[in-house]
Structure 1
Amino acid sequence: MKISFLITLLLATVACTHGQEPVKDTAGNFLETGQQYFIQPIKTGSNNGGGLVPAAIRLIPLCPLGINQAAFTFLPGLPVSFEFSDSVTEPTIMTSTDVTIEFKSSLPPPVCKEFSFIWAVESSSDSSEPAIILGGTPGSQNSRFKIEKAGEGAGENTYKLTSLDGTVGNVTGIFLAPQLVLTNDNAKTTFVKFNKYNEAITSASRVEKSALRMFPF
């Protein structure tokens, strides 16, 4: 156990010298692959701070689903897991490292069952702010995201998600809830914290049912 800790500490020290550092959850612990976390948007004057859930972002075609924020702050959304997009054996997730993000649920989705729960940037969109959708593939370019420090004044252990062509932000979706998109408008950036799943709530089925039924599909 001590050897494993020392190796983790050594790798973290080396990474920090290259501008990287371990990503931390709200308890100050390092984010790790194979664990589940709630991605919790920061509540602001224009953002209600609700958790993230799969949701329809258009009516025709309905699939693939996008990602919206819950209507209420007390709903944490669905948990996610992170995996490295490339071959990395160390479980600690560092800033500026490519990761795949996937919603985790023991309940089958009510629609669009042929699509994975892996996040992706919508590559077929002509929009300057393409939606973040479900149906991604591990390792594919549009399913690679990075976790970056939010910057000065954002608060402790606060981050933003980025991809190759921009930062994950939000716009008003078709159900008037914040919808995740890729943007280059800093004013739309969604700042987030990470709550470890088993520390944030004890009833998994209640979380999943409330999240999956929150929006009309």
Structure 2
Amino acid sequence: MNTLFIFLLLSTISSTLGQESPDPVRDIDGNLLQSGTEYYILPVVRGMGGGLTLGPRSDDLCPLDVVQENLEVDNGLPLTFTPVDPKKGIIQESTDLNIIFQAQSICVQSNVWGLVEYEGHRIVSASGTPGNPGSETINNWFNIRKFDDHYKLVYCPTVCSICRPVCGDIGVKIDENGTRRLAISDVPFKIMFKKV
């Protein structure tokens, strides 16, 4: 019995030691992305719009969704990142996090990103719920993954062990009004991060 216990203990320790922690995410200056620090999310490809901001979903002013500025010179609004474990100060690749605009609007909403259904698409809204990881907040968790030499945003939360979310890359869909709306897409939005 003692031999079995020691074997299981050593197996657990060796498998834990063999797991590598995710790489940290870096901004355009090569610095580590920090939780709670304000950044702009900018496109890597020049001439394909500017940074991210808030925009109306339809003719109604509210709610506001996550959209891309049309002009490349516009950085958009600053955002912060909060990992699922708020004690972690460094943002790491492929780990769940809330993305939150640091701006005020006339709409009564949280500015936390969340995935919602709209006209047959899964779009990114700014009316999610911060923190509280679990099935009730499954739509509010995103992660950052390496994409070529830069990054992309992905919806594939792991905060709920019994949930089975339909994962997907976040891309830009241009609607009939020319609004560049963030949504689940087959073409990922290649991005970089610039400290405010």
Q: Residue 115 of structure 2 aligns with which residue?
A: 121
Q: Which amino acid aligns with 2:123?
A: A
Percent identity between the two aligned chains: 30
Written as runs of structure 1 = structure 2, the 5 A alignment for 1:80-99 is 80-85=79-84, 87-99=85-97
Q: Residue 212 of structure 1 aligns with which residue?
A: none
Of 152, 158, 179, which residue of structure 2 is paired with 1:160?
Answer: 152
CA displacement, residues 87-136 of structure 1 (integer Å, 9 cap, x when unaligned)? 3423011101101000012xx31x32x111111101x4472x31100110
Q: Residue 54 of structure 2 aligns with which residue?
A: 54
Question: Once superposed, which parts of structure 1, at least 4 consecutive aligned residues long, lie more than 4 Å away?
Answer: 14-17
CA contact (8 A) 1:51 1:69 kept: yes
CA contact (8 A) 1:50 1:71 kept: yes
Written as runs of structure 1 = structure 2, the 5 A alignment for 1:2-151 is 18=20, 20-43=22-45, 48-59=48-59, 61-85=60-84, 87-105=85-103, 108-109=104-105, 111-112=106-107, 114-122=108-116, 124-125=117-118, 127=120, 129-139=121-131, 140-151=137-148
State the Cα RMSD in Å.
2.2
Runs of 5+ consecutive residues of structure 1 not aligned to the other structure:
1-13, 198-217
Change (3 A) 1:173 1:19: farther
Q: TM-score, normalised by structure 1?
A: 0.70
Q: Which structure has the larger Rg?
A: 2
Cα offset, 1:71, TM superposition: 1.6
Q: TM-score, normalised by structure 2?
A: 0.77
Q: Residue 205 of structure 1 aligns with which residue?
A: none
Change (3 A) 1:117 1:182: same
Cα offset, 1:16, TM superposition: 10
- Higher relative CO (CA 8 A, sep ≥ 6), structure 1 or 2? 1
